[in-house]
Amino acid sequence: MVNIYVGNLAYSVTDDDLKTLFESHGSVERASVITDRMTGRSKGFGFVEMSNDDEAQAAITKLNETELQGRNILVNVARPQGERPARGGKPERRQRW
């Protein structure tokens, strides 16, 4: 299973738009546009999962920097999320003795 990152999406792109685009290059297991939890608006990127490695690599090569709804999309293999730095809050203070 290959997880593919798709960036620089127009805010109007839907899950179905992504799936349709990638299905022309192979079998798509899942396609999703990431949305903001509060507003429900697209964050401008998404992910596509393809089960065949060769089809996924071909899709990445053929679709990277191509136009989708007026924007040139960025397509590459998704990196693992890994640990992210803490957000917000106050920095820890050192205790003085």
Helix then strand count (H, E) for the chain reads: 2, 6
User: Residue 8: is its pLDDT beyond 60?
Assistant: yes
Say whether pLDDT at 53 is over 80: yes
Is 48 in a helix, a strand, or coil? strand
Q: Output the pTM of the full model.
A: 0.82
- Residue-range domains of the chain with CATH: 2-77 (3.30.70.330)
What would the pLDDT profile of 62-74 be if each residue is shown by its tens digit?
A: 999 999 999 999 9
* CB atoms closer than 10 angstroms to residue 46: 22
Edge-to-edge strand list for the sheet holding 42-50: 28-35, 42-50, 2-7, 74-77
